[in-house]
Amino acid sequence: MHKEESERRAFLPEFFAALEKTGLPVALEKGYGSRLGFEESDYLRANRHARIVTQKEAFAQDIVAVLRSPEVNELKLMKRGAVLLSMLHYPTRAMRVELLKKRGIRGVSLDSLRDDFLQRIVYNPRGTSENGMEIAFKELAKVRKNFFSPRRLPLRVSIIGMGMIGLRAARSAGKYGSPELNDLAAERGARGVIVRLLPRSVTADRKLMEKLLKTSDILVDASTRDNPYAYIVDNDQLGQLKPDAIILDLTADPYLVDDAGVQVKAFEGIPTGDLNKPVFYPDDPAYDAIPAGVRTANRRTVVSCNAWPGVKPEECMRLYGIQILPVLSALAAKGLGSMSIDSPDYFERAIARATVEYFERYDQQRA
């Protein structure tokens, strides 16, 4: 992935060893896995059908698999009718959806792969929640001189979003985000953490939210929104937080300008981080890059990353490899064209639900 310098994730050689059973040729871009410390020979030994190619050749294959979505210039290297298996985030990337359709690329979004109970198949909630919560608590510990004191009040963490990310975040918060801080707090007799999960019936009540925000030490966005153009917490409400409170952005939606307006983050006026820079202080220049019309007057330290699992890349890619292998094997065996939500095969149904076509059909029905 040609992203920020700190993005080191690549599928491991063991993944390609398992993929060898499909018998299909595998084209790996030159330098693949090098940021994780692997050599090209590690991959060639793992899969006798693998070969090393240029970037242009890699994107010219029938199936292109890459964890984070390619950039526009990379998508232009793909041929019409090819399948792109990637984190495509259809609901908040309208321009990407249109580009895929325009170029005839058959998208299969890893974040839309769901089983018959609509639970995600390719998913790393632990990597997202725990990595983010660990950094948030470490930032709080820097500014709270009484962080480990047995005389302080319990810390309060407020989490918006009650899906798996939010629930994992709650469990992690109860342990100060990491074994290191948890052990230190226990040794010194600190008074623990109170975790509050805030459903929509609470976030919609401004007076109640004001009270909760005033007593929050860490405010967490783990939300899923139907409308990416609307805030859950606006900038005036963020002003109710303690001056040294931490905002943890686990969702990490971007600001995007399209024909319908500005797609915004759930919390108004916070920047979006990446693996190179996941922490922003109130005077950070990143606030100047936020689109005009988005209010940023009320600022707090923000912990944000658009690729949270990548903080621990090898652990992340081992999990993703296990989850993605049967999906890629099914695509290799049958191709995308014959897959349907009515298929008798579990993975074929999931793949069909992850296509651009299915997303647009469902979205139109919901609208």
Per the CB < 8 A criterion, the answer to whether 238 and 269 are in contact is yes
pTM confidence score: 0.83
Average pLDDT of the chain is 94
In tens, the pLDDT along 229-265 reads 899 999 999 999 999 999 999 998 888 877 777 889 9
Residue 4 in tokens: 């920020």
Residue 7 in tokens: 């993005």
pLDDT bin (cut points 50, 70, 90) of residue 365 is: low
The stretch 301-317 carries a mean pLDDT of: 94
Residue 350 in tokens: 């999931």
- Tell me, what's the pLDDT at 367? 46
Give, in order, the Cα–Cα distances in Å from 57 to each of 28, 36, 43, 208, 310: 9, 22, 17, 56, 26
> Largest Cα–Cα distance in the chain?
65
Per the CB < 8 A criterion, the answer to whether 252 and 308 are in contact is yes
Q: Which domains does the chain have, with CATH numbers?
A: 13-112+312-366 (3.40.50.720), 125-305 (3.40.50.720)
- Tell me, what's the pLDDT at 91? 84
